[in-house]
Structure 1
Amino acid sequence: MFDHIHLHKTVYRRGEQPLSRISPETLPVERLLELPDDTVFFQDCSYCLEGVGFSCSNHPLTEFALKNFFYIQSFSILDAGASYYTRRKNFHSYLISYTYEGEGYLEYEDESCSVKEGEGFFIDCRKPHYYRTEGTHWKHSDLHFSGSYSEYIYQQYINGGNAHFCQPLDGEFLPMLERLIELHETIAPCRELQISSQLESLLVLLLCKTPKYENTVKKIPEHLKYLISYIENNYAGPLTLDYLSEFSSISKYHLCRLFKKYLGFTPNEYIIRLRIENAKKLLKNTMLPANKIGSIVGIQDENYFYRMFKQRTGLSPHDYREHG
């Protein structure tokens, strides 16, 4: 586990060094993880570190990566003793913690749970949280990250269940995590983009394993799947709501509810967007006039096509062809 990746070793022994009181917002995440072993109280957090830790190096991030990518704030593995704990809030980071051996304990969002081998948790560190060793030994990793649409991913994740997750030691999670840390420690072209992509894949894996997501996938009606496939192959035809309802034997009201639930659009909006996407391809790849393209994708009224296209792209068909 992480044997081929160079991590910095730190031994935490209780009662070694005092530390003056200081707000955690003034310290980077990696410094917080290297605090002396005595319990130290801050305005919004307290720690007691005990055990052996291994942590990644820190690498400067470009402004572009900070604004556009997912990025790692810190990563560490801690073989923690019985006295280890973290109590914190108002810390601007997201945390994925994963247990390799022993057992931990988490209190978060008015819930509590144990975290055993092959289990972990995903939390927003701005919210009050408390985690500690349960028993005498807890070997776990902490991945702090931020950037891009982290908040959106987190909200989708937490709406699908709770902070706790299960990912077996021999499953997909660990190889993906190791690859992420390997990328973080490698100097290579497009390194920040590769890290962001790998971190996004890890987050999507966790998101797709939430109870809500798995139950939703199982419950998607087969006749809805068939109808969507039909629409995508016949989007240029006269697909009115009445026709789709009759074709699928689903009432118009229920059909609208199903589309909104599983696709995020009404049937009419879904069809319009399909037509606009295909119109964009024709504008870029052919010299056909825009009014002809409107007819080809199923929008016969030229003015309506121009209006719908500009509403959804911000450009007229002509401007899209020239500058889009």
Structure 2
Amino acid sequence: MWFICYPDITPVKELPFYTISVGMHLWQYPTPRENGYPYPQFLYSNKGSGKLITEGKTHIIPEHSIIFLPANVPHYYEAVTEDIWDVRWFVPYGDGTVALLKQFGFDRCRIFPITNLGALDEIHNKIHMAFQINTKESIFFSASYTYEFLFEFYRQYKEHSSPKSAQYRRRLTPLIEFIEHNFASEITQPMLCEQLHVSPQHLCRMFRECLNTRPMAYVTQIRLRHASELLAHSELSVSQISERVGFNNLNYFCKEFKRHSGMTPTTYRNRTLNQL
């Protein structure tokens, strides 16, 4: 599965923050850019690994990584794993973006671990939805999400250097993988506590420190991400998708989907299909 969104950004080109493009590819093909890319880029991947060559160095990109590439810097990247290198990208611009990246110290290539995949996917999905709707109003909303996305990347960049966060991340990694592989089944907080042999209070502390959310809220984020993909790329009914991603109550699924995306599952599907 893959998508690339390049909307008409005329309504927002005078704003300090806006997004040029978002996209994703389940197996990122080799990408050589001898003259770099004209805009700064963020790429992140949850599955598989890749290789990046830039600034005279070769970097192996492990799973759960974020890459920042400045504008106009020559680079080349490709998948290392044969079956999957799940890469999502975000291309911000505007005078405010350029100034903010400079303040962040993002003046050269940066590679750092993902500390909250759910937060990144949630904002990425919001921009993607806004681009799919493709109205003047939705493009304006995408500009506000640009600012939010930049700070989320920076927050994760700063967070990974915390010793406590690093310790918690190591312990949470197998649990995150468990959730990703079992989201369609029943998952309860006691089950998650049992996986790590910790109390509910300590589990909540770990999630809050590393992912800035609660354990079951994170499970919901993962389920909604998979639901969005099925709505856009399958013919299953909303009820079937609700069950397929682990919701036992259709009304609750619709309520949570609208709370996170701003629209009902049916509206999201119709607007997505109209853009295909």
TM-score normalized by the length of structure 2: 0.50
Greater helix fraction, Structure 1 or Structure 2: 2
- Structure with the larger RCO, 1 or 2 (CA within 8 Å, 6+ apart): 2
Larger Rg: 1
